Amino acid sequence: MTAQYQLDSLLQKCRSLISMKQLQAHLITTGKFQFHPSRSKLLELCSISPAGDLSFAGQIFRRIQTPSTNDWNAVLRGLAQSPEPMQALSWYRAMSRSPQKVDALTCSFALKGCARALAFSEATQIHSQLLRFGFEADILLLTTLLDVYAKTGDLHAAHKVFDNMQKRDIASWNAMISGLAQGSRPNEAIGLFNRMKEEGWRPNELLICTQNAALLIRLIPCLLA
């Protein structure tokens, strides 16, 4: 049995906090903790899996001499989906001050934290940074950004992001239409839905995530057309 096979086997068995702690101990005692990629996978498991624990993930992170971008992102992702998403924004700021390079995933996880915390001011700061980092063509990232703006009530900013996108996917259309609907602008939502069809997108690919029953009723004829 090779050492790599043994580590892969231990990772697959990490379905509880106890097994995660055992894997960490194994990496430390074998001298692999500081450089082996399994460490980042372990950190990700601790941060986002149901059996994980963000407090323990923080303990692992603090033992790392030179955290990689993946290490930072693993904890950031967990914080963004935690009950206290504002902590993700503090983590993002700490990473921005570190020697490690921020990537598109970093910005995406931070923006998801903004969406859950309804943190408009922080979202605008991240928006400026992602443009500076050269991520203005990243569809997933821009869709997340316009979703944040819509959820925090700035539909003008959301529409500006949408209009300036070089390319869009069905999620981009869905986020903008849903934002308009939830922002009590059903006529604009209907208009954008029709524009989506005119540009060749299949309406049956669109699942409108909205609680606006009136809009859904008005969209039914559009879906059947």
pLDDT in tens, 154-209: 999 999 999 999 999 988 998 898 888 888 887 888 888 889 888 888 765 445 44
> Has residue 196 been placed in a domain?
yes
On whether both 145 and 184 belong to a single domain, the answer is: no
- Identify whether residues 191 and 140 lie together within a single domain: no
Q: How many CB atoms lie within 10 A of CB 16?
A: 12
**pLDDT at residue 211, rounded to an integer:** 40
Which of 105, 131, 157 terminates a domain? The answer is 157
The span from the CA of 213 to the CA of 182, in Å, is: 10
Examine the domain organization and report whether 132 and 197 are in the same domain.
Answer: no
Specify burial of residue 45 (Cβ count, 10 A radius: 0-12, 13-18, 19+): buried
145 and 203 both lie in a single domain:
no
What is the rounded average pLDDT of the residues 90-113?
Answer: 94
Confidence of residue 23 (pLDDT cuts 50, 70, 90): confident
| 13 in any annotated domain | no
In tens, the pLDDT along 161-174 reads: 999 999 999 889 98
87 plus 132 within the same structural domain: yes
Residue that is last in its domain, among 157, 176, 202: 157
CB 98 within 8 A of CB 91: no
Tell me how far apart the alpha carbons of residues 113 and 92 are, in angstroms, rounded to a whole number: 10
**pLDDT above 70: percentage of residues in the chain:** 85
Q: pLDDT tens-digit profile of 39-61?
A: 888 898 889 988 889 999 999 99
Q: Which 8-state DSSP code applies to residue 66?
A: S
- Mean pLDDT, residues 81-92: 95
The two tokens of residue 180 are 């308009």
Please count the structural domains in the chain.
Answer: 2
What pLDDT is attached to residue 81?
Answer: 93
Q: For helices 155-164 and 139-151, what crossing angle results, to 10°?
A: 160
Q: Report if residue 65 sits inside a domain.
A: no
98-113 burial: b if 16+ Cβ within 10 Å, else e: eebebeebbbbbbbbb
| Residue 181 within a domain | yes
Residue 2 lies in a domain: no
| Mean pLDDT, the chain, whole residue set | 85
Q: Is residue 190 part of a domain?
A: yes
Mean pLDDT within 21-26:
84
**For the whole prediction, is pTM greater than 0.85?**
no
pLDDT bucket at 3, cuts 50 / 70 / 90:
low
Does residue 187 share a domain with residue 143? no
Query: 115 is in which domain, residue-wise?
Result: 77-157
Q: Same structural domain for residues 150 and 186?
A: no
Does the pLDDT of residue 84 top 50, yes or no?
yes
**What pLDDT was estimated at residue 1?**
46
Residues 114 and 186 in one domain: no
Q: Closest Cα partner for 165 from 141, 148, 200?
A: 141
